């Protein structure tokens, strides 16, 4: 009988969380990332070349702009997408990324999201995990989708990012 009670309690707790009783709120944040590949205002670049003459072992860093719109000149800056990418695939291109989204304007000003996950190429839509957050995004969990829209010049590109964040209310 005790194990039946335990099963009931676990099922009840899971149903409460699924129904929204777990204190979480799903928030969708839609932004555009603007990258500059070269020149004096470059926002990303390689810092360690691969010792194997492949992408394996290569390290790059980035500090890209996050804007409300696709047009860099007409859209307000709302944050930064900062982190690094490491080549981790020996036989096929594979990368590991770790990044922080630091919000610098708007309702999330001063808050951050911590992002991590694999990256298997530069085509299509990439999905990675949201593993934490600070400020108004404290204890955030979720995922985000990143899709290259296109190059806006030979040195710049713009990508669309959709963050799906499960936020937890906090009294502290």
- Domains of the chain: which residue ranges? 24-166
- The confidence score (pLDDT) of residue 136 equals 94
Which segments of the chain have a pLDDT < 50?
1-20
Q: Would residue 55 be called left, alpha or beta, if left means φ above 0 and alpha means ψ between -120 and 50 degrees? A: alpha
Looking up tokens 């594979």 gives 94
Q: Would residue 57 be called left, alpha or beta, if left means φ above 0 and alpha means ψ between -120 and 50 degrees? A: left
**Dist. CA 64–CA 157, nearest whole Å:** 10
C-beta of residue 65 within 8 angstroms of C-beta of residue 73 = no
Encode 155-165: b = buried (16+ Cβ within 10 Å), e = exposed: ebbbbebebeb
C-beta of residue 72 within 8 angstroms of C-beta of residue 38 = no
- The confidence score (pLDDT) of residue 66 equals 98
Which secondary structure element, helix H or strand E, spans residue 4, and what is its range? helix 2-16
- The confidence score (pLDDT) of residue 7 equals 36
- The confidence score (pLDDT) of residue 115 equals 97
**What pTM was estimated for this model as a whole?**
0.81
Encode 91-111: b = buried (16+ Cβ within 10 Å), e = exposed: eeebbebebbbbbeeeebeeb
- The confidence score (pLDDT) of residue 90 equals 85
- The confidence score (pLDDT) of residue 1 equals 45
> How far apart are the two ends of the chain, measured CA to CA in Å?
39
| CATH number for the domain formed by residue range(s) 24-166 | 2.40.480.10
Give which of 110, 115, 108 is closest to 131, Cα–Cα: 115
Give the chain's mean pLDDT: 85
Phi/psi for 105 (5° steps) reads -160, 165
- The confidence score (pLDDT) of residue 93 equals 76
- The confidence score (pLDDT) of residue 119 equals 83
C-beta of residue 116 within 8 angstroms of C-beta of residue 98 = yes
């Amino acid at each position: 009988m005790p194990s039946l009670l335990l099963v009931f309690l676990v099922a009840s707790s899971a149903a409460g969380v699924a129904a929204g009783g777990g204190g979480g709120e799903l928030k969708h944040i839609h932004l555009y990332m603007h990258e500059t590949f070269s020149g004096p205002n470059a926002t990303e670049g390689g810092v360690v070349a691969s010792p194997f003459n492949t992408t394996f072992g290569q390290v790059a860093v980035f500090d890209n702009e996050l804007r409300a719109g696709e047009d860099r000149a007409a859209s307000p800056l709302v944050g930064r997408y900062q982190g690094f990418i490491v080549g981790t695939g020996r036989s096929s291109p594979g990368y590991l990324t770790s990044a922080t989204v630091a919000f610098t304007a708007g309702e999330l000003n001063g808050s951050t999201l911590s992002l991590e996950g694999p990256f298997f190429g530069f085509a299509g839509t990439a999905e990675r995990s949201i593993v934490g957050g600070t400020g108004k995004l404290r204890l955030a969990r979720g995922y985000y989708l990143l899709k290259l829209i296109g190059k806006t010049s030979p040195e710049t590109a713009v990508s669309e990012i959709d963050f799906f964040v499960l936020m937890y209310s906090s009294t502290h």
